[in-house]
Amino acid sequence: MTAARPWPLGVDGIAYGGDYNPEQWPREVRLEDIDLMREAGVTLVSVAIFAWATLEPREGEYDFAWLDEVMDDLAGAGIKVALATATASPPPWLTRHHPEILPLTQDGTVLGQGGRQAYAVTSPLFREYALRMTRVMAERYGDHPALALWHVDNELGCHVPHDYSEHAAVAFRGWLERRYGTIEELNAAWGTAFWSQRYDSFHEILPPRAAPTYANPTQQLDFARFSSDELLTHYRALRDVLREVTPQIPATTNLMLSSATKWMDYFSWAEDLDLIANDHYLIAAEERGQIELALAADLARGVAGGDPWILMEHSTSAVNWQPRNRAKGRGEMLRNSLSHVARGADGIMFFQWRQSKAGAEKFHSAMVPHAGRDSDVWSNTVALGRALEALAPVHGSRVLSRVAIVVDYPSWWASELDSHPTQALRYNEELLRWYTAFWDLGISVDMVPTGTDLTGYELVLAPTLYTVRDQDADRLAEAARAGAQVVITFFSGIVDENDHVRLGGYPGAFRDLLGVRTEEFYPLLEGETLHLDDGTRADLWSEKTHLEGADAVRSWADGPLHGWPAVTRNPTGEGAAWYVAARPTADGLEALLTEIVAAAGVEPAVPGLHRDVEAVRRFAEDGTTYLFVLNHSDRDQVVQVSGREMLTGTDVEGAVTVHAGSAAVLQES
Ligand code: GAL
């Protein structure tokens, strides 16, 4: 159970800090920063992320004086640095001399200088400049006592997940040649006999740029795979320079795991990151945003393979980029932070340390707000620092869940392509709906990629696993045979990895496991709902499903499929395989999941809590357990516990009240 991944050097306990952009401030402010960081208990800051143009104002001419000073000041204060490669945004001189490095959108628009991230990740020339800058940073600061971690680029793919430039076309062809070997193989995989799309050579292939109508779906799917791989390739190239110059320093890049980030298959990136770092921002308009936050945190833990990870960015209060940027409520910043810790984060950081005075993000909150020290935000910053200090023993402990949700980025990409039975299906909405149902039952889940050995879980859910390879489908069957309740939802197992339909009836890959055969989909129209025979309703989807060994658990109570099964269960080995061929509304879903959870014998961390009280446990190797209770509701919650409440340092026994909006962390005895 010991953490397998490296950790920022010299950072103990729970790391605390944020992005630090001293290039925006004069010396006297930077000196004050050091004092304030000490006051808040900051231990780790990310520096120089967007500093390329300041560090190299003209090609080949460097100005390191200010950064030398900042690094020395931080080292003097005992604060460690996640130092950036400074490559996240090319300086204007570079794009002026070499506009060919700029990215191109699908409809042919060149994305220009003046914002950030104005580069095509596939441009060999940009790569050369980025590698050079990375080497310069590594050679200058590799031995600096403040250096704890390399922060490669920044949120790779955030603004430009897909580039359609000529550079991208060349790289895409290379990627395809490596994948398929011959053009005949590609033609077969892409099904190019359709619509006269046959290619005679790889030279004819383009990225799926704007076309008169639907582009070849396999071309689109492969372009998504390629684009995720290219961003990773760029990371790897920079990381390799860092490894060569500073093999002792771990390297990472900040991911954007959330229910909204679609285009990077982070599971496939995990191996290349020494430790997993994630950025997460609450969506203010989301009434119960803490659930999506928890999903993102569980995903980060999943990508980390269960090892501790760092929350590299979130916000102390409002952001600047949503339509309406709500300030966080009382206790919210602490609860948000502790929810990440509860789900495996051993570092809590923010964008950013000091709120900017100028630039596009001046209205984005920070740890030091415009208002200064006399503010709620600053008090919260200091209070969080104290809380994390008190939680130092939690570092290295793990979350152990008995439920797994299989998450698959290629299925996300492919299930939402055009020309499908419905355009209203959103993979991430399905994920969040089921996740919410688990949350409401108080049950913690692991988010795992396909290919994981699932046999240790009591309950395994695969929502809309649209594209699946045989060996990955087998993993689900093995889990059922080993005793798990396996739940597969509609539009799963439909195609192989080339997006070719598995013939003979849906859901092709899972027909035998589920004991069903669907002959036709019956998607619902916008606003249309149908009744299920338990009195609840369902929307979006229905299908004509024959029972071939399974039992009906729910049937349609009206509509064209009246009397046909909507949810089925097929006993398999020691377990069972459930097919949810419907999309029940929230109440129906919760009722159904309650039955499934009962069959699996899975219990909540703490039974009987209000649904907006989050309770998650972390387990240490020495047998100690840490119970996080976060009360997101507007009512006080009494919890039966005994042990030591770590935030207040008091011993507790029996009934403990966690006040509305507040949090408790129990070291249980
Ligand atoms: C992130 C980014 C930060 C900052 C932040 C604002 O996407 O990495 O640099 O822009 O968003 O929320």
- Ligand 1 centroid from CA 91, angstroms: 18
Number of domains the chain contains: 3
Catalytic residue list contains 56: no
Three-class SS state of 549: coil
Pair of tokens at residue 128? 């050369």
Q: Whose CA is nearest to atom 5 of ligand 1?
A: 351
For residues 511 and 622, membership in a common domain is answered with: no
For residues 433 and 549, membership in a common domain is answered with: yes
CATH of residue 656's domain is 2.60.40.1180
Upstream peptide bond of 507 is cis (omega within 30 degrees of 0): yes
279 lines ligand 1 (CB under 6 A): yes
Nearest atom of ligand 1 to the alpha carbon of 155: 8
Q: Is residue 102 part of a domain?
A: yes
Pair of tokens at residue 498? 């080339």
The predicted pLDDT at position 669 comes to 81
From 253, 317, 361, 363, give the residue whose CB has the most ligand 1 atoms within 8 Å, as the site to mutate: 361
CATH of residue 344's domain is 3.20.20.80
pTM: 0.98
For residues 545 and 498, membership in a common domain is answered with: yes
**Residue ending a domain, choose from 372, 394, 416:** 394
Mean pLDDT value of segment 563-577: 98
Q: Is residue 436 part of a domain?
A: yes
314 lines ligand 1 (CB under 6 A): no
Q: Whose CA is nearest to atom 9 of ligand 1?
A: 351
Q: Is residue 306 part of a domain?
A: yes
For residues 497 and 446, membership in a common domain is answered with: yes
Q: Which domain holds residue 630?
A: 613-668
Contacts of 223 (CB under 8 A, 6+ apart): 162, 172, 207, 208
Ranges assigned E (strand) in 490-536 = 516-521, 529-531
313 lines ligand 1 (CB under 6 A): yes
154 lines ligand 1 (CB under 6 A): yes
pLDDT per position as a tens digit, 413-443? 999 999 999 999 999 999 999 999 999 999 9
The predicted pLDDT at position 9 comes to 97
- Ligand 1 centroid from CA 350, angstroms: 9
Nearest atom of ligand 1 to the alpha carbon of 49: 9
The predicted pLDDT at position 1 comes to 45
3-class SS string, 341-388: HHCCEEEEEECCCECCCCCCCCCCCCCECCCCCCCHHHHHHHHHHHHH
CA 152 – CA 250 distance, rounded (Å): 11
Mean pLDDT value of segment 22-31: 98
For residues 466 and 591, membership in a common domain is answered with: yes
For residues 454 and 590, membership in a common domain is answered with: yes
For the chain, percent of residues with pLDDT exceeding 90: 99
Mean pLDDT value of segment 283-287: 94
CB atoms within 10 A of CB 1: 13
415 lines ligand 1 (CB under 6 A): no
From 87, 158, 278, 279, give the residue whose CB has the most ligand 1 atoms within 8 Å, as the site to mutate: 279
264 lines ligand 1 (CB under 6 A): no
CATH of residue 428's domain is 3.40.50.880
Q: Is residue 218 part of a domain?
A: no
Please, which pLDDT band fits residue 490 given cuts at 50, 70 and 90? Answer: very high
pLDDT per position as a tens digit, 80-118? 999 999 999 999 999 999 999 999 999 999 999 999 999
Q: Is residue 270 part of a domain?
A: yes
**Residue ending a domain, choose from 600, 624, 650:** 600
DSSP 506: B
Nearest atom of ligand 1 to the alpha carbon of 281: 12
Q: Is residue 631 part of a domain?
A: yes
Mean of the per-residue pLDDT values of the chain: 97
Residue tagged active-site, from 56, 313, 430, 645? 313
Catalytic residue list contains 668: no
For residues 482 and 334, membership in a common domain is answered with: no
For residues 634 and 579, membership in a common domain is answered with: no
Token pair 């509509």 in the structure block, residue: 559
Count Cβ atoms within 10 A of the Cβ of residue 97 and give its class: 0-12 exposed, 13-18 middle, 19 or more buried.
exposed
Pair of tokens at residue 363? 């209205």
Continuous H helices in 528-649: 586-600
DSSP 268: G
Q: How far, CA to CA in Å, does 435 sit from each of 291, 404, 438?
A: 8, 10, 5
Q: Is residue 170 part of a domain?
A: no
The predicted pLDDT at position 468 comes to 98
Q: Whose CA is nearest to atom 8 of ligand 1?
A: 155
Q: Whose CA is nearest to atom 12 of ligand 1?
A: 319
617 lines ligand 1 (CB under 6 A): no
Q: Are 517 and 208 in contact (CB under 8 A)?
A: no
The predicted pLDDT at position 2 comes to 47
Q: Is 633 left (phi over 0), alpha (psi -120 to 50) or beta?
A: beta
Task: Indicate whether 4 pLDDT > 90.
Answer: no
For residues 579 and 657, membership in a common domain is answered with: no
Mean pLDDT value of segment 581-609: 97
Q: Whose CA is nearest to atom 3 of ligand 1?
A: 351
Task: Indicate whether 624 pLDDT > 70.
Answer: yes
The predicted pLDDT at position 181 comes to 98
For residues 262 and 407, membership in a common domain is answered with: no
146 lines ligand 1 (CB under 6 A): no
- Ligand 1 centroid from CA 351, angstroms: 6
Q: Whose CA is nearest to atom 11 of ligand 1?
A: 351
For residues 631 and 556, membership in a common domain is answered with: no
Nearest atom of ligand 1 to the alpha carbon of 321: 12
pLDDT per position as a tens digit, 357-401? 999 999 999 999 999 999 999 999 999 999 999 999 999 999 999
Q: Is residue 505 part of a domain?
A: yes
Contacts of 329 (CB under 8 A, 6+ apart): 661
Residue tagged active-site, from 23, 56, 155, 614? 155
Task: Indicate whether 3 pLDDT > 60.
Answer: no
Pair of tokens at residue 204? 């004819």
The predicted pLDDT at position 651 comes to 97
319 lines ligand 1 (CB under 6 A): yes
**Residue ending a domain, choose from 394, 412, 429:** 394
For residues 483 and 563, membership in a common domain is answered with: yes
pLDDT per position as a tens digit, 628-662? 999 999 999 999 999 999 999 999 999 999 999 99
292 lines ligand 1 (CB under 6 A): no
Mean pLDDT value of segment 289-295: 98
632 lines ligand 1 (CB under 6 A): no
153 lines ligand 1 (CB under 6 A): no
Q: Whose CA is nearest to atom 2 of ligand 1?
A: 155
